[in-house]
Amino acid sequence: MKLILLGAPGAGKGTVAKMLTELDGSVQISTGDILRGAVKAGSELGKQAQDFMNRGDLVPDELIMGIMEDRLQEPDCANGFLLDGFPRTIPQAEALKELLARIGVKLDMAVSLDVPRDVILDRLTTRRTCSNSDCQAIYNTKSSPTKVEGVCDKCGSPTIQREDETVEAISHRLETYNEKTAPLIGYYEGEGLLMSVNATSSDAVVAAIKERIG
Ligand code: ADP
Protein backbone atom coordinates (compact mmCIF):
# COMPACT_ATOMS: atom_id res chain seq x y z
CA MET A 1 0.00 0.00 0.00
CA LYS A 2 1.06 3.58 -0.62
CA LEU A 3 -0.17 5.75 2.20
CA ILE A 4 0.44 9.06 3.89
CA LEU A 5 -0.11 8.98 7.65
CA LEU A 6 -1.27 12.34 8.96
CA GLY A 7 -1.64 13.25 12.62
CA ALA A 8 -0.29 15.36 15.45
CA PRO A 9 2.97 14.39 17.16
CA GLY A 10 2.04 11.50 19.45
CA ALA A 11 -0.97 10.42 17.37
CA GLY A 12 0.75 7.07 16.76
CA LYS A 13 1.88 7.42 13.14
CA GLY A 14 5.08 5.47 13.82
CA THR A 15 3.29 2.68 15.68
CA VAL A 16 0.64 2.29 12.98
CA ALA A 17 3.28 2.41 10.22
CA LYS A 18 5.27 -0.38 11.88
CA MET A 19 2.14 -2.53 12.20
CA LEU A 20 1.25 -1.95 8.53
CA THR A 21 4.73 -2.90 7.26
CA GLU A 22 4.12 -6.37 8.67
CA LEU A 23 0.99 -6.81 6.58
CA ASP A 24 2.36 -6.49 3.08
CA GLY A 25 6.06 -5.60 3.06
CA SER A 26 5.53 -1.86 2.52
CA VAL A 27 8.37 0.20 3.99
CA GLN A 28 7.98 2.84 6.69
CA ILE A 29 9.58 6.14 5.77
CA SER A 30 9.89 8.44 8.75
CA THR A 31 11.48 11.81 7.98
CA GLY A 32 11.99 12.29 11.74
CA ASP A 33 14.03 9.05 11.94
CA ILE A 34 16.02 9.96 8.82
CA LEU A 35 16.82 13.38 10.30
CA ARG A 36 17.73 12.02 13.75
CA GLY A 37 20.03 9.51 12.02
CA ALA A 38 21.70 12.35 10.12
CA VAL A 39 22.17 14.38 13.31
CA LYS A 40 23.72 11.39 15.05
CA ALA A 41 26.02 10.69 12.11
CA GLY A 42 27.09 14.35 12.10
CA SER A 43 26.43 14.62 8.35
CA GLU A 44 25.94 17.92 6.54
CA LEU A 45 22.17 17.29 6.50
CA GLY A 46 22.24 16.65 10.25
CA LYS A 47 24.13 19.87 10.93
CA GLN A 48 21.60 21.84 8.93
CA ALA A 49 18.61 20.18 10.63
CA GLN A 50 19.72 20.00 14.27
CA ASP A 51 18.81 23.46 15.56
CA PHE A 52 15.36 23.43 13.96
CA MET A 53 14.65 20.02 15.47
CA ASN A 54 15.77 20.86 19.00
CA ARG A 55 13.50 23.90 19.03
CA GLY A 56 10.56 21.81 17.79
CA ASP A 57 10.50 23.82 14.53
CA LEU A 58 10.10 22.29 11.10
CA VAL A 59 13.18 21.72 8.99
CA PRO A 60 13.03 23.78 5.73
CA ASP A 61 10.96 22.24 2.91
CA GLU A 62 13.92 22.16 0.46
CA LEU A 63 15.96 19.92 2.77
CA ILE A 64 13.05 17.52 3.25
CA MET A 65 12.22 17.35 -0.46
CA GLY A 66 15.86 16.56 -1.25
CA ILE A 67 15.69 13.60 1.14
CA MET A 68 12.34 12.34 -0.14
CA GLU A 69 13.15 12.68 -3.81
CA ASP A 70 15.96 10.14 -3.32
CA ARG A 71 14.21 7.94 -0.78
CA LEU A 72 11.03 7.37 -2.82
CA GLN A 73 13.06 6.14 -5.77
CA GLU A 74 14.91 3.46 -3.83
CA PRO A 75 13.96 -0.08 -4.95
CA ASP A 76 12.30 -1.08 -1.65
CA CYS A 77 9.54 1.49 -2.25
CA ALA A 78 8.21 -0.53 -5.18
CA ASN A 79 6.29 -2.79 -2.76
CA GLY A 80 4.62 0.19 -1.13
CA PHE A 81 5.45 2.83 1.45
CA LEU A 82 4.00 4.43 4.55
CA LEU A 83 4.93 8.06 4.88
CA ASP A 84 5.24 8.92 8.57
CA GLY A 85 5.83 12.60 9.32
CA PHE A 86 5.86 13.72 5.71
CA PRO A 87 4.43 15.84 4.14
CA ARG A 88 4.22 18.38 6.97
CA THR A 89 3.32 21.54 5.03
CA ILE A 90 1.18 22.43 2.02
CA PRO A 91 4.29 23.21 -0.09
CA GLN A 92 5.68 19.73 0.77
CA ALA A 93 2.33 18.15 -0.23
CA GLU A 94 2.35 20.01 -3.54
CA ALA A 95 5.97 19.07 -4.20
CA LEU A 96 5.16 15.43 -3.35
CA LYS A 97 2.26 15.42 -5.81
CA GLU A 98 4.56 16.70 -8.54
CA LEU A 99 7.29 14.19 -7.61
CA LEU A 100 4.91 11.19 -7.61
CA ALA A 101 3.46 12.22 -10.98
CA ARG A 102 6.99 12.52 -12.37
CA ILE A 103 8.05 9.04 -11.18
CA GLY A 104 4.69 7.46 -12.09
CA VAL A 105 3.52 6.48 -8.58
CA LYS A 106 -0.09 6.67 -7.38
CA LEU A 107 -1.03 7.14 -3.72
CA ASP A 108 -3.84 5.03 -2.24
CA MET A 109 -4.88 7.37 0.58
CA ALA A 110 -3.90 9.95 3.18
CA VAL A 111 -5.04 8.62 6.55
CA SER A 112 -5.69 11.19 9.26
CA LEU A 113 -5.16 9.76 12.77
CA ASP A 114 -7.48 11.70 15.08
CA VAL A 115 -6.59 11.75 18.80
CA PRO A 116 -7.81 14.21 21.49
CA ARG A 117 -5.23 16.77 22.58
CA ASP A 118 -5.12 15.65 26.23
CA VAL A 119 -4.28 12.08 25.14
CA ILE A 120 -1.51 13.43 22.89
CA LEU A 121 0.04 15.54 25.65
CA ASP A 122 -0.06 12.65 28.06
CA ARG A 123 1.55 10.25 25.56
CA LEU A 124 4.37 12.61 24.69
CA THR A 125 5.37 13.75 28.16
CA THR A 126 5.52 10.16 29.42
CA ARG A 127 7.66 8.84 26.52
CA ARG A 128 11.24 7.82 27.35
CA THR A 129 13.95 6.74 24.90
CA CYS A 130 17.09 4.72 25.55
CA SER A 131 20.11 7.06 25.41
CA ASN A 132 22.27 4.41 23.72
CA SER A 133 22.17 5.39 20.05
CA ASP A 134 22.53 1.75 18.96
CA CYS A 135 19.47 0.75 20.99
CA GLN A 136 16.96 3.64 21.08
CA ALA A 137 14.27 1.45 22.66
CA ILE A 138 11.10 3.41 23.45
CA TYR A 139 9.24 3.20 26.77
CA ASN A 140 6.35 4.97 28.42
CA THR A 141 6.42 5.72 32.13
CA LYS A 142 2.71 4.79 32.35
CA SER A 143 1.88 2.20 29.70
CA SER A 144 5.22 0.41 29.15
CA PRO A 145 7.72 1.35 31.89
CA THR A 146 11.23 -0.04 32.23
CA LYS A 147 11.63 -2.75 34.88
CA VAL A 148 14.05 -0.52 36.80
CA GLU A 149 13.13 3.17 36.67
CA GLY A 150 15.35 5.10 34.27
CA VAL A 151 17.30 2.04 33.05
CA CYS A 152 16.78 0.43 29.63
CA ASP A 153 15.57 -3.20 29.88
CA LYS A 154 17.42 -4.16 26.70
CA CYS A 155 20.88 -2.67 27.17
CA GLY A 156 21.07 -1.15 30.66
CA SER A 157 21.77 2.42 29.50
CA PRO A 158 19.89 5.36 31.05
CA THR A 159 16.52 6.20 29.49
CA ILE A 160 15.94 9.89 28.78
CA GLN A 161 13.35 12.35 27.51
CA ARG A 162 14.13 13.38 23.92
CA GLU A 163 15.24 17.00 23.75
CA ASP A 164 12.08 17.86 21.79
CA GLU A 165 9.85 16.07 24.33
CA THR A 166 10.05 18.56 27.15
CA VAL A 167 6.74 20.29 27.94
CA GLU A 168 7.85 23.54 26.22
CA ALA A 169 9.09 21.84 23.05
CA ILE A 170 5.97 19.68 22.88
CA SER A 171 3.64 22.70 23.15
CA HIS A 172 5.62 24.35 20.39
CA ARG A 173 5.45 21.22 18.19
CA LEU A 174 1.67 21.07 18.66
CA GLU A 175 1.31 24.74 17.72
CA THR A 176 3.44 24.15 14.64
CA TYR A 177 1.28 21.14 13.80
CA ASN A 178 -1.95 23.13 14.07
CA GLU A 179 -0.61 25.97 12.00
CA LYS A 180 1.39 24.18 9.28
CA THR A 181 0.30 20.53 9.11
CA ALA A 182 -3.39 20.39 10.07
CA PRO A 183 -4.30 22.20 6.79
CA LEU A 184 -3.15 19.06 4.94
CA ILE A 185 -6.36 17.35 6.05
CA GLY A 186 -8.39 19.77 3.92
CA TYR A 187 -5.84 19.52 1.13
CA TYR A 188 -6.16 15.71 0.85
CA GLU A 189 -9.92 15.91 1.21
CA GLY A 190 -9.88 18.15 -1.84
CA GLU A 191 -7.69 15.62 -3.66
CA GLY A 192 -10.27 12.90 -2.89
CA LEU A 193 -7.69 10.89 -0.93
CA LEU A 194 -8.63 11.50 2.72
CA MET A 195 -9.65 8.82 5.22
CA SER A 196 -10.14 9.98 8.84
CA VAL A 197 -9.97 7.48 11.69
CA ASN A 198 -10.30 7.67 15.44
CA ALA A 199 -6.78 6.77 16.55
CA THR A 200 -7.17 6.31 20.29
CA SER A 201 -6.34 2.64 19.52
CA SER A 202 -3.64 1.81 16.95
CA ASP A 203 -5.11 -1.68 16.43
CA ALA A 204 -8.42 -0.13 15.39
CA VAL A 205 -6.62 2.15 12.91
CA VAL A 206 -4.85 -0.78 11.28
CA ALA A 207 -8.13 -2.74 11.07
CA ALA A 208 -9.90 0.22 9.45
CA ILE A 209 -7.14 0.66 6.86
CA LYS A 210 -7.12 -3.06 6.08
CA GLU A 211 -10.85 -3.04 5.58
CA ARG A 212 -10.65 -0.07 3.26
CA ILE A 213 -7.83 -1.17 0.99
CA GLY A 214 -7.52 -4.87 1.70
P1 ADP B 1 6.91 14.04 15.77
O2 ADP B 1 6.88 13.19 16.98
O3 ADP B 1 6.91 15.52 16.01
O4 ADP B 1 5.95 13.61 14.70
P5 ADP B 1 9.13 13.38 14.06
O6 ADP B 1 10.00 12.29 14.56
O7 ADP B 1 8.24 13.12 12.90
O8 ADP B 1 8.36 13.89 15.31
O9 ADP B 1 10.03 14.65 13.70
C10 ADP B 1 10.94 15.23 14.60
C11 ADP B 1 11.40 16.58 14.05
O12 ADP B 1 12.00 16.41 12.77
C13 ADP B 1 10.28 17.58 13.81
O14 ADP B 1 9.96 18.29 14.97
C15 ADP B 1 10.91 18.48 12.75
O16 ADP B 1 11.87 19.35 13.30
C17 ADP B 1 11.66 17.48 11.89
N18 ADP B 1 10.85 16.95 10.77
C19 ADP B 1 10.46 15.66 10.59
N20 ADP B 1 9.76 15.53 9.45
C21 ADP B 1 9.69 16.76 8.89
C22 ADP B 1 9.10 17.28 7.70
N23 ADP B 1 8.41 16.50 6.85
N24 ADP B 1 9.24 18.61 7.46
C25 ADP B 1 9.92 19.40 8.28
N26 ADP B 1 10.51 18.99 9.42
C27 ADP B 1 10.41 17.67 9.72
pLDDT at 191: 97
Does the structure show a pLDDT above 90 at 208?
A: yes
- Residue tagged active-site, from 36, 123, 128, 173: 173
Listed residue (6, 4, 8) closest to 175, CA to CA: 8
Arithmetic mean of pLDDT, 142-156 = 95
Q: What is the pLDDT of residues 19-45, one digit of tens each?
A: 999 998 999 999 999 999 999 899 999
Does the structure show a pLDDT above 80 at 214?
A: no
pLDDT at 124: 87
Is 55 part of the annotated catalytic residue set? no
Arithmetic mean of pLDDT, 1-5 = 97
**What pTM was estimated for this model as a whole?**
0.87
* Atom 4 in ligand 1: residue holding the nearest Cα: 9
pLDDT at 13: 93
Arithmetic mean of pLDDT, 54-62 = 91
For the beta carbon of residue 27, count every other beta carbon within 10 angstroms: 15
* Atom 16 in ligand 1: residue holding the nearest Cα: 53
How far apart are the C-alpha atoms of 190 and 184, rounded to whole Å? 10
Residue 55 confidence class, pLDDT cut points 50, 70, 90 = confident
Q: Which atom of ligand 1 is nearest to the CA of 58?
A: 26
Q: Widest CA span of the chain, in angstroms?
A: 51
Arithmetic mean of pLDDT, 9-15 = 90
Does the structure show a pLDDT above 90 at 5?
A: yes
Is 88 part of the annotated catalytic residue set? yes
pLDDT at 171: 87
Residue 172 confidence class, pLDDT cut points 50, 70, 90 = confident
pLDDT at 54: 87
Listed residue (190, 4, 207) closest to 96, CA to CA: 4
Residue 136 confidence class, pLDDT cut points 50, 70, 90 = confident
Q: What is the pLDDT of residues 63-76, one digit of tens each?
A: 999 999 999 999 99
* Atom 10 in ligand 1: residue holding the nearest Cα: 32
Ligand 1 first shell, C-beta below 6 A: 9, 31-32, 35, 52-53, 56-59, 64, 85-86, 88, 92, 164, 173
pLDDT at 6: 97
Listed residue (18, 12, 14, 24) closest to 198, CA to CA: 12
Is the preceding omega at residue 87 within 30 degrees of 0, hence cis? Answer: yes
Is 127 part of the annotated catalytic residue set? yes
Does the structure show a pLDDT above 80 at 93?
A: yes
Does the structure show a pLDDT above 80 at 209?
A: yes
Is 123 part of the annotated catalytic residue set? no
pLDDT at 151: 97
* Atom 1 in ligand 1: residue holding the nearest Cα: 9
- Residue tagged active-site, from 13, 36, 123, 128: 13
